[in-house]
């Protein structure tokens, strides 16, 4: 039976105050570095007979501080929580990041953790929290001496191909279409979840039907191009060739995500699917005519089969 994890969206809503180890951060992507930190923390909490908790923020602090409205996130909040649940935690606090929270003094924030969680130990990498990032490592350690908690700066950083794993590196990898780096840092394929919506039907008329996906407008997309992907439908995995782009050969103007499920024929309009990116096949191109496009797509499908088998 899966471990029961308590979810709350306010610190004051935690069911009880008892000795708690807490990791504080956004944890966007829940990549291998996040996973290692949380695994070490939960192991330490278990040895101490303490509760293991994570405090994450949504929306992302930089979207409030910088007023960003571009595609930023590596996964939806629901997906982030699903991934966090797998880390052996007892408690997940999803704190709305507001302008009011942004201006909360570090000491007041910590006092709430002490009062409602029974704060025993704070875990993290590079520390700074509270207004003007005043809650740095020396500040928190001094405060901990007064209030009876300790601070653990986790230094077991994870590398992939000689460079540090981070959410920023994953975002850069996606923008460059470097799926190998993205997968290596996440420890799993990058995933988009979306609903299949009607398109213009051109793919079916050409004999290569595609499912057009409507995905969350704030999740970061891989660079435009053709990809070898897995498409998940009703718990079943299908080989697929996906295109992220503007379809210049047919004078497309809006960004589309479409996937052709290999060896599949069925009506899946309105259904939710998950698209996992395995390898990049090529850049998006403009072809002289539809015949040239069809020829290239058929060649792409051959490559996709080779990449996925």
- Name the band, by pLDDT with cuts 50, 70 and 90, for residue 247: confident
Q: Tell me what the mean pLDDT of segment 239-251 comes to.
A: 85
Where helices occur in the chain by DSSP H, the ranges are 32-48, 61-65, 77-85, 99-102, 106-117, 137-147, 167-176, 179-186, 202-205, 290-308
Give Cα separations from 220 to 73, 98, 155, 182, 279 (angstroms): 6, 22, 28, 12, 17
Tell me the sheet residues that pair with 258: 212, 243
CATH superfamily for domain 6-156: HUPs (3.40.50.620)
pLDDT(186) > 70: yes
pTM over 0.85: yes
| CA dist., res. 16 & res. 34, Å (int) | 26
**Do 6-156 and 189-308 share a fold?**
no
Query: Which residues, 6+ apart, have CB-to-CB distance to 299 below 8 Å?
Result: none
Who has greater pLDDT, 266 or 47? 47
| CA dist., res. 225 & res. 53, Å (int) | 40
- SS3 for 266-284 is CCCCCCEEEEEEEEEEECC
**Domain 189-308 = CATH 1.10.8.60:** no
Q: What is the pLDDT of residue 201?
A: 66
pLDDT(227) > 90: yes
- Strand residues in 125-271 grouped as ranges (E): 150-153, 159-160, 163-164, 190-197, 211-215, 225-233, 236-245, 256-261
User: Running DSSP on this structure, what letter comes out for residue 42?
Assistant: H
Q: Where do the domains of the chain lie?
A: 6-156, 158-185, 189-308
């Amino acid at each position: 039976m899966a471990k029961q994890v308590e979810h709350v969206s306010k610190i004051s809503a935690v069911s009880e105050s008892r000795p708690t180890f807490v990791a504080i951060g956004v944890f966007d992507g829940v990549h291998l570095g996040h996973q290692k930190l949380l695994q070490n923390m939960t192991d330490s909490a278990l040895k101490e007979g303490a509760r293991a908790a994570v405090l994450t923020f949504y929306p992302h602090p930089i979207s409030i501080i910088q007023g960003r409205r571009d595609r930023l996130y590596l996964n939806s909040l629901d997906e982030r929580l699903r991934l966090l649940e797998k880390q052996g935690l007892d408690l997940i606090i999803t704190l709305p990041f507001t302008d009011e929270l942004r201006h909360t003094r570090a000491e007041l924030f910590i006092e709430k953790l002490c009062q409602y969680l029974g704060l025993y130990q704070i875990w993290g990498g590079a520390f700074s929290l509270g207004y003007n990032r005043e809650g740095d490592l020396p500040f928190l350690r001094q405060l901990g001496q007064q209030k009876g908690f300790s601070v653990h700066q986790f230094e077991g950083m994870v590398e992939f191909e000689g460079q540090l794993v981070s959410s920023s590196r994953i975002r850069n990898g996606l923008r460059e279409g470097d799926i190998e780096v993205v997968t290596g840092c996440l420890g799993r394929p990058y995933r988009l979840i979306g609903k299949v919506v009607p398109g213009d039907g051109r793919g079916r008329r050409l004999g290569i039907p595609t499912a057009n996906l409507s995905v969350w407008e704030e999740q970061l997309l891989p660079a435009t191009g053709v990809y070898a992907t897995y498409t998940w439908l009703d718990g079943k995995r299908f080989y697929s060739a996906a295109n992220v782009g503007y379809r210049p050969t047919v004078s497309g103007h809006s960004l589309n995500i479409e996937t052709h499920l290999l060896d599949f024929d069925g009506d899946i309009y309105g259904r939710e699917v998950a698209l996992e990116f395995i390898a990049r096949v090529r850049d998006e191109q403009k072809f002289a005519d539809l015949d040239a496009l069809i020829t290239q797509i058929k060649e792409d499908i051959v490559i996709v089969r080779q990449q996925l088998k």
